[in-house]
Amino acid sequence: MLEKSVTLPDGRAIRAVTAGDGPGPLVVFEAGMSAPGSSWIHTQREVGARCRTLSYDRAGYGGSDVDPHDRTLDRIAGDLTALLDALGETGPVVLVGHSWGGPIIRVFADRHPHRVAGVVFVDASLAEIMSTRNAKVAARFFTLMALVARMGGKGLIKRQTFRNGLSPEISAADVEVMTRDYATARAMKAAGREALQIEASLPLLRRVQEKGTPDVPVVYLQAGLVERGMTEWRPLFNRYAAALADAAPRGELVVVEDAGHLIPQESPEVVRDTIFRVMELVA
């Protein structure tokens, strides 16, 4: 994997990681809220065995500069566009977004449909489950986790995050890399800034969901495991995702029965194989 610093038009530096070679479109990984680009390390390495890949730290995470502006969904999607432009990647890409990464790639796809070859939503956040109350809870939670990190609670954050365990496919070395930039006050502060803008971003998210995705292969990977606090929300979450998959010109829903929200870490083989299947469809 090759790490590089990419300068955006406003002068901010973004840490990007590329891996792999081969024909076909670039696979772009977008992490969830509070997660650095390295949360994809295992999957990126595996997919990079066949394809060109890109992961990156959003502003304020890992090796990327803090953004002085509000971290709205509109702003974050603009950063993704600017990053790809700076790398000269203006052709169609396959977008893979987990959790809050889902809305980010959805906005990118809405703005630049000609630059999208395929989409994989991995338990991606939807407007229907991102209520004002949930947004406020998330912001308070990340504020608390930042305090825990400053007090040396890296282990507690790790246990809280990976409470369902990790796939044996993921090595201890990769877990260490994932948590290196995640279990920090800096990452939790960046997540808190994003969470504070969820409510303001909901109208945009609703609009792009209603418009739908481009006429490309689109797969929704949804968690099947009902985690604590999700007894009511998980069935609704998956039902909304199923409706969006049905509405997509070439949409598909896959429920990963034994995985919770962290599908990339709990069932990475499903994510990997889904990406390979989409790549075959767009080749």
What tens-digit pLDDT sequence spans the chain (283 residues)? 899 999 999 999 999 999 999 888 999 999 999 999 999 999 999 999 999 999 999 999 999 999 999 999 999 999 999 999 999 999 999 999 999 999 999 999 999 999 999 999 999 999 998 877 777 888 888 888 888 888 877 777 777 778 888 999 999 999 999 888 888 999 999 999 999 999 999 999 999 999 999 999 999 999 999 888 788 889 999 999 999 999 999 999 999 999 999 999 999 999 999 999 999 999 7
Q: Cα–Cα distance between 156 and 203 in angstroms, integer?
A: 35
Q: Cα–Cα distance between 203 and 73 in angstroms, integer?
A: 10
Q: Cα–Cα distance between 95 and 10 in angstroms, integer?
A: 24
Count of beta carbons in the 10 Å neighbourhood of residue 280: 11
Q: Cα–Cα distance between 1 and 18 in angstroms, integer?
A: 6
Question: Crossing angle, helix 132-150 and helix 198-211, to 10 degrees?
Answer: 130
pLDDT at 23: 84
pLDDT at 63: 95
Rg (CA), the chain: 17
pLDDT at 217: 98
Q: Cα–Cα distance between 266 and 238 in angstroms, integer?
A: 18
Tokens of 246: 């049905």
pLDDT at 131: 75
Tokens of 131: 């209520």
Q: For residue 186, give every residue at least 6 positions away whose Cβ sits within 8 Å of its Cβ, in sequence order, or none.
A: 60, 61
The residue assigned the tokens 């797969």 is: 219
b/e burial code for range 88-113 (CB count within 10 A of at least 16 → b): ebeebbbbbbbbbbbbbbbbbbbebe
Tokens of 194: 């994003």
pLDDT at 153: 73
Q: Cα–Cα distance between 103 and 52 in angstroms, integer?
A: 23
Q: Cα–Cα distance between 61 and 55 in angstroms, integer?
A: 12
H helices of the chain, in order, are: 41-47, 73-86, 101-111, 132-150, 154-161, 172-182, 185-195, 198-211, 233-247, 263-266, 268-282
pLDDT at 157: 76
Element housing 111 (H / E): helix 101-111
pLDDT at 264: 97
Q: Cα–Cα distance between 191 and 207 in angstroms, integer?
A: 23
The pTM for the full model equals 0.95
